[in-house]
Amino acid sequence: MAWSQFYKSVPFSRVWPFYAAAFCLFAVTGIFSDIFNLGRTPYVITILNAIFSGFTAVMYVHVGMRLNPRLFIHVTLLQIPIWLGFSVIAWFLASYFHLQPVPTASGIRFAGVVMLLLVIASYSLFIRFIRGEGRESFRISNELELAHGIQKTLVPPISLHTPQFELYGRSDPSEKVGGDLVDALQFEDGSIVAYLADIAGHGLQAGILMGMVKTATHTALLDVCSIEPRAVLPSLMERLNRVLPGVKEPQMYATFAGFRLNPDGGVFYALAAHPPILHYRMNARTEYISVEQFPLGLLPVSDYFADATTMASGDLLIAVTDGILEASNESDDEFGLDRLQEVIANHATDSLPALADAILNAVRAFGKQIDDQTLLLIRRF
C-alpha cells in the first residue's frame, strides 16, 4: 500500500502524535470494561487494563505504518499471551496487595472522568498530527509549484520555422513535475538540432535529471558547426552517456530521439531505446523508423550512430514518448502506433500546433494520462 510505504520513510518525530492518539483512544476500552463490572474493579487494575489496551492499539498502528501489514495476523496471535500475562499480573496484584472492590458510585465516577480525559487527549493528539501533516503537505506543495515553474522555463513549447522546415514540440507532465524533455536549437549556419528525451520514471527526481540533460545538451552542442553533420547526433549522445552516470541514481536512464536538420533540407536522425519515429509521407504511406541502440546513462557504450532520411514537401516526422503510445483504456488496450497513425492521417494538413492538440486529445479520450506525454513534430515545406 502506498501510504504504508510513505510512512516507513517519515521520521518518528512526525508520527508520534498519531501513536499517542491511538493509545489514548483505545485505552478508553480498558476503562470501559470497568463499566461492565459496575465500576467495582480496583483502580490499579483498571489503569493497567487501559495501558494494555492502548499498547495493543499502538502495536497495530506500528505494524500498519512502519512494518508490513501482513504481520497483523502475528500481532493478533500475540494478544493471547499478552492478555494471559495481564490476567496473571492482575491476579497477583489483587492477591499480594489485598485489593478490594471499589464502591460502584466511586468506580463509575472514576471511569467516566478518566474516559473523558483520554478522549480529549486523543482528540488533541489527532489534531496535532493532522496539522503537522498539513504543514508538511503545504510545504511540499509549494516546492512542487516552484519546481513546476522551473520546468515551464526548462521545457516550454517549442516552435521554429526555417525556409525548409517547421517544428513544434510540447510536453505535458502527468504530475506537477515531469521527466520528459523536448528541445530545439537553431545555429548560425541555419541548421537545427531538435530532440526528445524521456527520463525513466516521473516526478521531482526525473524532473531534476531532465534539467541536467538539457544543460548538458546545450553545452555539448556549443561547437556543433565544426562537426560533420552526420556526426552531430552520435557525438551528442556519446557525451550525454558519459555525463549522466555521475549525476543520477544507478537505475535511472534516458531514452532519446534526435534530429539534425540541414539548411539544404537533409535530415539525420538517431534513436536510443526510444519508440519508433513515424515518417508520414504526403502519398499517405507511413513509415516506422526504428533503431536499436542502448539508452543514455545506463551502460558505458560509445558506438552510437545516426542515419539519414529524405523528406518531400509536406512530409511529417513525428516522435512521441511512451506516455502517448502506452496510454491504456479500461480494457488495458494501448493507444499504440496504429491509432497514432490514424490521427496523423486525419490531421496531416493541419498546423503543427493543431496536429499536436489532435494527438493529445485523442490519447486522453482513449485513456487516463498516467505518464508524461511529449511529442515533437517536424514538417518539410
In angstroms, the CA 237 to CA 193 distance is: 12
- Claim to verify: residue 65 and residue 183 sit in the same structural domain: no
- Claim to verify: residue 167 and residue 94 sit in the same structural domain: no
Q: Which residue has the higher pLDDT, 349 or 138?
A: 349
How many beta carbons lie within 10 A of that of residue 163, not counting itself? Answer: 8
Order of strands across the sheet with 307-309?
180-186, 192-199, 254-261, 267-272, 307-309
Q: What is the pLDDT of residue 67?
A: 82
> pLDDT class for 2, splitting at 50, 70, 90?
low
In angstroms, the CA 168 to CA 374 distance is: 11
Domain end point (choices 148, 170, 205): 148
Q: What is the pLDDT of residue 273?
A: 95
- Claim to verify: residue 57 and residue 173 sit in the same structural domain: no
Q: What is the pLDDT of residue 186?
A: 93
**Its pTM surpasses 0.75:** no
- Claim to verify: residue 203 and residue 341 sit in the same structural domain: yes
**How many domains, in total, are found in the chain?**
2
- Claim to verify: residue 169 and residue 142 sit in the same structural domain: no
The pLDDT tens digits of the residues spanning 329-359 come to: 999 999 999 999 999 999 999 999 999 999 9
Tell me, what amino acid is at 272? A
Query: Residue 261's beta-bridge partner residues?
Result: 192, 267
Q: What is the CATH number of the domain that holds 288?
A: 3.60.40.10
| Domain extent at residue 113 | 2-148
> pLDDT class for 365, splitting at 50, 70, 90?
very high
Residue 101 has pLDDT above 80, yes or no: yes
**Whole-number Cα distances in Å, 216 to 184, 213, 246, 323:** 14, 5, 12, 24
The pLDDT tens digits of the residues spanning 248-265 come to: 888 899 999 999 999 999
Supply the mean pLDDT for the chain. 89
- Claim to verify: residue 122 and residue 207 sit in the same structural domain: no
> pLDDT class for 279, splitting at 50, 70, 90?
very high
- Claim to verify: residue 211 and residue 314 sit in the same structural domain: yes
Domain end point (choices 148, 166, 184): 148
SS3 annotation, the chain: CHHHHHHHCCCHHHHHHHHHHHHHHHHHHHHHHHHHCCCCCCHHHHHHHHHHHHHHHHHHHHHHHHCCHHHHHHHHHHHHHHHHHHHHHHHHHHHHCCCCCCCHHHHHHHHHHHHHHHHHHHHHHHHHHHHHHHHHHHHHHHHHHHHHHHHHHHCCCEEEECCCEEEEEEEECCCCCCCEEEEEEECCCCCEEEEEEEECCCCHHHHHHHHHHHHHHHHHCCCHHHCCHHHHHHHHHHHHHHHHHHHCCCCCCEEEEEEEECCCCCEEEEEECCCCEEEECCCCCEEEECCCCCCECCCCCCCCCCEEECCCCCCEEEEECHHHHCCECCCCCECHHHHHHHHHHHCCCCCHHHHHHHHHHHHHHHCCCCCCEEEEEEEEC
What does the buried/exposed string (b/e) look like for 116-150 if buried means 16 or more CB atoms within 10 Å of the residue's CB? eebeebbeebbeebeebeeeeeeeeeeebeebbee
- Claim to verify: residue 144 and residue 257 sit in the same structural domain: no
Q: Say which range, 129-133, 142-146, 160-164, has the weakest mean pLDDT.
A: 142-146
Task: Say if residues 203 and 175 touch (Cβ distance below 8 Å).
Answer: yes
Q: What is the mean pLDDT of residues 30-42?
A: 87
- Claim to verify: residue 210 and residue 325 sit in the same structural domain: yes
- Claim to verify: residue 161 and residue 138 sit in the same structural domain: no
List, in order, residues 6 or more apart from 166 with CB less than 8 Å away.
160, 352, 378, 379, 381
- Ramachandran angles phi, psi of 280, nearest 5°: -95, 120
Q: What is the mean pLDDT of residues 214-221?
A: 92
- Claim to verify: residue 116 and residue 193 sit in the same structural domain: no
Domain end point (choices 148, 174, 204): 148
Q: Say which range, 205-209, 237-241, 317-321, has the weakest mean pLDDT.
A: 205-209
- Claim to verify: residue 207 and residue 188 sit in the same structural domain: yes
